[in-house]
Amino acid sequence: MAAMTTPADHDARGQDDGPRALPLPRPLLNRRLAAFGTTIFAEMSALALKTGAINLGQGFPDTDGPEEVREAAVRALRDGRGNQYPPGPGVPELRTAIADHQQRRYGLSFDPDTEVLVTAGATEAIAASLLALLEPGDEVVALEPYYDSYAACIAMAGGTRVPVTLRPHQGRYVLDLDELRAAVTPRTRLILLNTPHNPTGTVLTREELAAVAALAVERDLLVITDEVYEHLVFDGEHIPLASFPGMRERTVTISSAGKTYSFTGWKVGWITASPALVTAVRSAKQFLTYVSAGPFQYAVAEALRLPEMYFTALRDDLRAKRDLLSAGLADAGFEVYRPAGTYFVTTDIRPLGETDGFAFCRALPERCGVVAVPNAVFYDHREQGAPFVRFAFCKQKDVLDEAVTRLRRLAP
């Protein structure tokens, strides 16, 4: 590293115009990304491995999705479907299955050829959408706390994020519609929405979504809406933002097979949007991954056609796990914000006499053999999230039982 020559060194050479300040060594990581460091999930998962603690930090299931979907992937691999570059927008079978799903479930019609784009997980869909739609200096209004890739991708696209903070109120994290309205300025290009919301578990209601939609129409904003937990709703219902008046043409809807089918490693995601928006997002996507996950695309096409029973069973199973972990956390002394959706539960650690979620999470594996994530990492203003900690419940029942037993040791 020490011998490395930076462009600044070259600038300084061959010029002799008297004494000058030595050039400062230029950091390798650019300014846009320097603030982000390593994701907390890496740190906490490493801690779980080192201590043998139960990892309720990162949100991945500890059992794989349906056998028949796995078999579909094996078949595609063996039959030579998708082993070479699939078409840029995604294989037609999957695009058609996505369009059918939106129609069947929400009554939204999308043309599989011009209004659907398959991506490398929702993560790439988010990145490509922001890179395509933002000019440097554009403002993005996003719900805080937010999924950690949002802030980094807005920064990579040169945008400025304007957080609107969801606040705990009567057991639920609530969006203040006046604050949302006030956050929109003449520089606002788009709203980045997420419902069901990670990490708080809030599912925006029809009234809240109608207000977001009305604001977007009134101020002529685009909306990117991350709906990867669309099938994980326990109370209330998920309503796609694109179904509100005036939204069909200005909304990029993102979803993914990772959370719905418990195949987070496959990284098959997608967007549905108007032809103009799909074309724009594809312009960025083609230079990120171009294409990905060929054989898995065929398998996800089959997954999207699973009978309704599959979704009901998934939901009922996770609802029972939510109730189990929420009750255990409450017994252990946490204040619990019971999530209406997603597979995360956010807690307040202040009733345990704690105020710093970071310190709490770093000590938790030693104290009782469980790993969780401090919600502060999901905030721009970290102090706002300081006393909150997130636990994932997408784990086998006996794992959750054991975690609850261990967490009871914290009870004052």
Instruction: Enumerate binding residues for ligand PLP (CB under 6 A).
Output: 121-123, 147, 194, 198, 226, 228, 256, 258-259, 264, 267, 269
Select 194 or 262, whichever has its Cβ closest to ligand PLP. Answer: 194
Cβ at position 383, least distance to ligand PLP in Å:
23
Burial readout 50-86 (b: 16 or more C-beta within 10 A, e: otherwise): eeebbbbbbbbbeeebbeebbebbeebbeeebbeeeb
Chain mean position to CA 315: 19
- Taking the least distance from each CB to ligand PLP, the nearer of 126 and 180 is 126
Nearer to ligand PLP, 123 or 375 (CB): 123
Nearest to ligand PLP by Cβ — which residue? Answer: 121
Rg value, the chain, Cα: 23
How many of the other CB atoms lie within 10 Å of CB of 130? 28
End-to-end CA distance of the chain: 51
**C-alpha to C-alpha distance for 260 and 68, rounded to whole angstroms:** 15
Rounded to a whole number of angstroms, the minimum distance from the CB of residue 119 to ligand PLP is 8
CB of 198 to ligand PLP, least distance (A): 4
Spatial neighbors of 399 by CB under 8 A, at least 6 apart, are: 54, 62
Closest separation in Å from C-beta 324 to ligand PLP = 21
- Shortest approach of ligand PLP to residue 194 CB, angstroms? 5
Closest distance to ligand PLP from the beta carbon of 163 (Å): 15
For ligand PLP, the closer CB: 238 or 267:
267
* C-beta of 122 vs 376, nearer to ligand PLP: 122
Of 106, 191, 98, nearest in space to 144 by CA: 191
Least distance in Å: CB of 130 to ligand PLP? Answer: 13
The tokens describing 221, both together, are 């904003």
Q: How far is the CB of 412 from ligand PLP (least distance, A)?
A: 32
Spell out the residues 6+ positions from residue 371 whose beta carbon is closer than 8 angstroms to its own.
Answer: 44, 45, 47, 48, 53, 54, 55, 56, 57, 361, 364, 365
d(CA 353, CA 348): 10
For ligand PLP, which is the closer residue by CB, 244 or 261?
A: 261
Q: Which is nearer to ligand PLP, 102 or 225 (CB)?
A: 225
The nearest distance, CB 49 to ligand PLP, in angstroms, is: 21
Residue among 130, 93, 133 at smallest CA distance from 113? 93
Residue number with CB closer to ligand PLP (125 or 134): 125
Shortest CB 352 distance to ligand PLP, Å? 26
Query: Among residues 65 and 269, whose Cβ is nearest to ligand PLP?
Result: 269
Toward ligand PLP, which CB reaches closer, 123 or 129?
123
We find the least distance from the C-beta atom of residue 307 to ligand PLP, in angstroms, to be: 23
Q: What are phi and psi of 111, to 5 degrees?
A: -80, 120
Which residue number, 43 or 148, has a Cβ lying nearer to ligand PLP? 148
Distance, CA of 373 to CA of 352 (rounded, Å): 16
120 forms beta bridges with: 268
| 289 phi/psi in degrees, rounded to 5 | -110, -15
